[in-house]
A and B are shown apart, each in its own frame.
Chain A
């Protein structure tokens, strides 16, 4: 039966982890922030939100396509279980997905146009900011402030909940920084973003 196989496998893994835990029990382990995994997770989230881009980064596409994560698997062997979990940044929860869906819709309805027009830009803290109100019509301007605030509330919640869901609330700031960088990396040509000193640059 498949179940027995699974159980066996789990038992075997348990044994392996147990053994490793004993082996490394006397070693202090620093839980470091899994930069690469966070970047991949952020890319995946961001690409879902802004839609596929022509000429997208192929590596991330391939890695995302399959469920297998070689780095996580390797880390699973090398690092005791409690820490192995942290290496893969997981952002798949129904609640985060619900926010993502909201963000996808907002992107399609408002943000994409406003980013194209330069009315808003990607700031350097993983949020969006109003750059030039006069780039959109008066009626749209009325919504600008509100939609930007709603988007930023969603983004803040996502960053915080990703950190909490991965068992490290203290990573919130790092996750936010990673997202800030990946939003810009994934931005379309012509969109504005803030550089480190807060000046607007055009991609």
Chain B
């Protein structure tokens, strides 16, 4: 019968020594049963240690727990039966908490130990010298990682396979790891990877306190916060050389991330590990990056959430940044040989060059951009260049007036100030003018009914509040021999979901002959004034307005053609003319005294009104003069707006095929 010892608080070293003796078979005759409670080995605590040496040799460690990582389960080492002399082979069973026990078979020969599990996973430990050893492993399942370790690494899931080797010697330790089908996830799901294959080489030289790492990302996809990295077409390589300066400080001698001609990023700096990693200082240099590739790896999603999902930039990006005490202290980025094309056809820039410079200490920010050719909503714009700079009072302002050719005219921004541009409540102040642009070309390009004239404008103030621009001042348009003025202009979500525009437009003394000529309306002579107030466009289509047009009585010639009579009838929803068809045909045109028509559009219905109400319950649109006297009276008050548009389109389409 073996002697039985019960140890309550023996020193851990003694327990470890006894375990070693038992396993190595020294003192073969000794039979013992040893039991210790709650023993601590550094950060590890064992609730219970049982060492049995008799007919069986067993060491059971129960309730293993790490100070930081929590419970690690139980381990039971059991020698093959009748291994009385020395424990050469046996099983090692690890029962992690809340997981299936994993059983390893072990064999020892000389200075080597081999552990294997299910024939495919294997660990070999070879003692190669007095204080050197080699550890090789193959096909280890990362899913075996104890829950506590996963939690400490901030992961909610980890799986995949790991191969590798570790060569330990006092002067240098080298390790090489290869992962296959690595998958990981974080509790909030922001960081995740799938199907990852990484190669990692590490080297540690204690004499020089030098650490080197080389990594290669071969396949798989990665999600790093807002950045999504799809499987790389060519492997991405990363290198790191670092020196440990003292217990908690490391110097990054050189870190480099490289992927053939797509990305070349390097960094040097100093890190401190006090609890968490802190960057004391770090200089990052982006020697080269392909804008299109970088864009496709996360920036496109960010842009898409702001309505620019179809933006397609290309070009080169280079720059540098400096981080001091965990905060960005300076940044310089340059874009060269670049271009931008919006798949939705809103914007295009060619031969774009731009740079930004930012210094935290001096609170200075400068931005500069130029391009050779641009397009906004089909409107060709010429070359442009602007420079923005910050001022001491927290205002970001245009360094000098910015001039952008628009067809034969130009948009000139005299002043642009972005007050409190770093605060959440930033305020944009802008003084701009539009130098006269030929309306003929503009309307042709926009695919509207073509008409001549010139458009110009002055905008002494443009305010940006949230998603909406409020424009002070307005546009002056010379058209059809008269004038129009657009004011109280406001634009919401110009590039977002459902762009909206609101404005008031006044028209003064338009020459009806030119107006009717442009719109294939039939000929009308006279002068026309009117307004479109409370106009609201959604998706650039009118959804609401209060429009009224009336001819001026002081115009010398006031005549209306038959076709125009028909057109007016169409607009007023088929209101009849006072003369019947055959009689009308006798005359080419008719003199009139006054004409007026109004429409209030709301909920897709145009509520019509004329010069005045008639006794028959209609509204007078055109009042005749002399002979043959012709009055046009409308009866339909509510006209379906989409139908009216369709009818107008059909009427002008018929006319334009002449």
A contact residues vs B (CB 8 Å cutoff)? 3-4, 6-8, 10-11, 90, 92-96, 98-99, 132-136, 138-139, 141-143, 145-146, 148-150, 153-154, 156-158, 160-161, 164-165
| 5 tightest A-B CB contacts, nearest first | A133-B189, A149-B305, A134-B189, A95-B538, A157-B498
Q: How far is the CA of A92 from the CA of B604 in the complex (A)?
A: 9
Contact call A10/B642, Cβ cutoff below 8 A? no
Contact call B187/A134, Cβ cutoff below 8 A? yes
Q: Indicate whether B226 reaches chain A with its CB closer than 8 angstroms.
A: yes
Q: Indicate whether B635 reaches chain A with its CB closer than 8 angstroms.
A: yes
Closest chain A residue, CB of each to CB of B468: A160
Contact call A141/B192, Cβ cutoff below 8 A? yes
Contacts of A7 in B (CB 8 A): 617-618, 635-637
Contacts of A96 in B (CB 8 A): 498, 538
Can you list, as one digit per residue, whether each of B143-171 has a CB less than 8 Å from chain A (1) or not (0)? Answer: 00000000000001100000000000000
Residue in B156, B185, B543, B642 whose Cβ sees the most chain A Cβ within 10 Å: B543
Contacts of B190 in A (CB 8 A): 133
Contact call A150/B604, Cβ cutoff below 8 A? no
Contacts of B363 in A (CB 8 A): none
From A10, A135, A161, give the contact of B637 (CB < 8 A).
A10
B contact residues vs A (CB 8 Å cutoff)? 156-157, 185-190, 192-194, 221, 223, 226, 228, 301-302, 304-307, 309, 492-493, 496-498, 500, 536, 538-539, 541, 543-544, 603-604, 617-618, 635-638, 642
Contact call B500/A161, Cβ cutoff below 8 A? yes
Contacts of A6 in B (CB 8 A): 638
> Assuming the A-B contacts A7-B637, A95-B539, A95-B543, are A141 and B189 also in contact, with contact meaning beta carbons closer than 8 angstroms in the complex?
yes
> Assuming the A-B contacts A142-B228, A145-B226, A165-B603, are A133 and B188 also in contact, with contact meaning beta carbons closer than 8 angstroms in the complex?
yes
Contacts of B193 in A (CB 8 A): 138
- Looking at the assembled complex, report how far the CB atom of B573 sits from the nearest CB atom of chain A, in whole angstroms: 9
Contacts of B544 in A (CB 8 A): 165
- Looking at the assembled complex, report how far the CB atom of A63 sits from the nearest CB atom of chain B, in whole angstroms: 19
Contacts of B226 in A (CB 8 A): 145
Closest chain A residue, CB of each to CB of B306: A149
> Assuming the A-B contacts A142-B228, A145-B226, A146-B305, are A154 and B192 also in contact, with contact meaning beta carbons closer than 8 angstroms in the complex?
no
Contacts of A11 in B (CB 8 A): 617
Contacts of A157 in B (CB 8 A): 493, 496-498
Q: How far is the CA of A185 from the CA of B122 in the complex (A)?
A: 57
A-B contact pairs, 19 of them (CB 8 A): A4-B617, A7-B617, A8-B617, A10-B638, A90-B603, A92-B604, A93-B603, A95-B541, A134-B186, A134-B188, A135-B189, A141-B192, A142-B301, A146-B304, A146-B309, A149-B306, A153-B497, A157-B498, A161-B498
Residue in B156, B193, B223, B538 whose Cβ sees the most chain A Cβ within 10 Å: B538
Contacts of B188 in A (CB 8 A): 132-134
Contact call B223/A142, Cβ cutoff below 8 A? yes
- Looking at the assembled complex, report how far the CB atom of B637 sits from the nearest CB atom of chain A, in whole angstroms: 6
- Looking at the assembled complex, report how far the CB atom of A13 sits from the nearest CB atom of chain B, in whole angstroms: 11
Contact call B543/A143, Cβ cutoff below 8 A? no
Contact call B223/A138, Cβ cutoff below 8 A? yes
Contacts of A154 in B (CB 8 A): 497-498
Contacts of A149 in B (CB 8 A): 304-306
- Looking at the assembled complex, report how far the CB atom of A103 sits from the nearest CB atom of chain B, in whole angstroms: 10
- Looking at the assembled complex, report how far the CB atom of B429 sits from the nearest CB atom of chain A, in whole angstroms: 24
Closest chain B residue, CB of each to CB of A133: B189
Contact call B604/A138, Cβ cutoff below 8 A? no
> Assuming the A-B contacts A95-B543, A150-B497, A165-B603, are A134 and B185 also in contact, with contact meaning beta carbons closer than 8 angstroms in the complex?
yes
- Looking at the assembled complex, report how far the CB atom of B197 sits from the nearest CB atom of chain A, in whole angstroms: 15
Contacts of A148 in B (CB 8 A): 305
- Looking at the assembled complex, report how far the CB atom of B488 sits from the nearest CB atom of chain A, in whole angstroms: 14
Contact call B304/A150, Cβ cutoff below 8 A? yes
Contacts of B541 in A (CB 8 A): 94-95
Q: How far is the CA of A87 from the CA of B305 in the complex (A)?
A: 35
From A90, A145, A153, give the contact of B301 (CB < 8 A).
A145
- Looking at the assembled complex, report how far the CB atom of B10 sits from the nearest CB atom of chain A, in whole angstroms: 46
Contact call A153/B223, Cβ cutoff below 8 A? no
From B189, B223, B301, B497, give the contact of A99 (CB < 8 A).
B497
Closest chain B residue, CB of each to CB of A10: B637
Contact call A153/B307, Cβ cutoff below 8 A? yes
- Looking at the assembled complex, report how far the CB atom of B186 sits from the nearest CB atom of chain A, in whole angstroms: 8
Contacts of A132 in B (CB 8 A): 188-189
Closest chain A residue, CB of each to CB of B193: A138
- Looking at the assembled complex, report how far the CB atom of A83 sits from the nearest CB atom of chain B, in whole angstroms: 15
Contact call A138/B543, Cβ cutoff below 8 A? no
> Assuming the A-B contacts A134-B185, A164-B536, are A150 and B637 also in contact, with contact meaning beta carbons closer than 8 angstroms in the complex?
no
Q: How far is the CA of A12 from the CA of B637 in the complex (A)?
A: 14
- Looking at the assembled complex, report how far the CB atom of B181 sits from the nearest CB atom of chain A, in whole angstroms: 13
> Assuming the A-B contacts A3-B635, A11-B617, are A94 and B496 also in contact, with contact meaning beta carbons closer than 8 angstroms in the complex?
no
Contacts of A145 in B (CB 8 A): 226, 301-302, 305
Contact call A138/B194, Cβ cutoff below 8 A? yes
Q: How far is the CA of A84 from the CA of B280 in the complex (A)?
A: 67
